[in-house]
Structure 1
């Protein structure tokens, strides 16, 4: 732990001209006295670290000091830095921040410019602080193998109390999920984090079960034949780009402006079809046409009610 702290501290000092001892103490969750002992350790190891007292004082390195950059290539440094910066837009992680400091510390100006060529912001529009807090809590529970409890809302609005063994945070498309073993359903389930309320980390621990994440088990469950329905729909060519983004170009008959594909049938599908308004028309299956038509009529009836 101390060795890791010393290396991280060195990288921070390389990145910044001067850092307050109190700031370092808060970052590493140690006392200021420990930080000054670390400074002595670094000096003894040959790292040219300086400590200045007073209002404008702080801890710094002799100007021009650099560490060996040969541990990673330029492209590797750039790729890792971009990945970490992107991940930190969604949750708090002091370890990831420390690693990013280390990577930036061994990067020259050209590499630092390359890092800024691409920025992937995984956070939702409007900076949803609650989502970030939930993801941070779940990540901590996964690392410490602690169960979490929460209220979970179905697409129909039904709330159920859940206790799960969290295994993996999953970002699918633009949505975050937690994949874990649900004690209520006695099996692995994928929970949409935006539907989770009153989440709490429990003291109850669990033994992590074997899961084959490379096979994306949540995707396999979603694609089970019994859950899928064959769809045929036509679309207005004015929204062809949106249709491609939503359903995939491989499912489109461009000559006829028709889409053929299979999707799970649930409230999400009904909402998706209705969200296009009069720009698409569901053709098959006929029973689903009736459902969508009835939903559309209910919407019209709702807005046709006289104002109170």
Structure 2
């Protein structure tokens, strides 16, 4: 079990028996780690805002305040990433730290598979460091990553010439005034960034494209520092 899974499992174990305590030794045996590892994990959870406290005495241990925690919730990966984007708008305000804490609690409360899918989706959303208020994305393009289908688009270049393309969506990049859809272009046989306001038409095919990684060096944006969205603010 990796550390992320163990932290999640620790919270769920303490939630299941709350308000009764679990000793560090009991938890160490349960997760097959040392008591020192359990103590470090509990400290990390406490620092992230999880309401765990130590109860002293021979029968004491670690307790979770069940009334102040959420059980696993049925948020979709897309909903979690949407909240991450919304909370990011609080950067530079007095509530930046609280926004990061709220986001960590949200992800910790999700089902494990959904949380992992949300983390993967977040790694495919990028924006330039000076991106301000960005325009809305048409629904069919906003759903492109989650739907995992090949798209057929009409695309106009700077001179207005239009081409027809089949693309495999890989990610998004936002910059001032524009969104880009980053995709594998079958016409050009490579990764391209398509300015969304230049996509003149779009249709969703039934074809599921092969999985492709999206690396930072693949982001073909001509200026600015590209920043990746994260669910661990």
TM-score (norm 1): 0.31
User: Rg: which structure is higher?
Assistant: 1
Structure with the larger RCO, 1 or 2 (CA within 8 Å, 6+ apart): 2
The structure with the greater share of residues assigned to helix is 1
Tell me the TM-score normalized by structure 2.
0.40
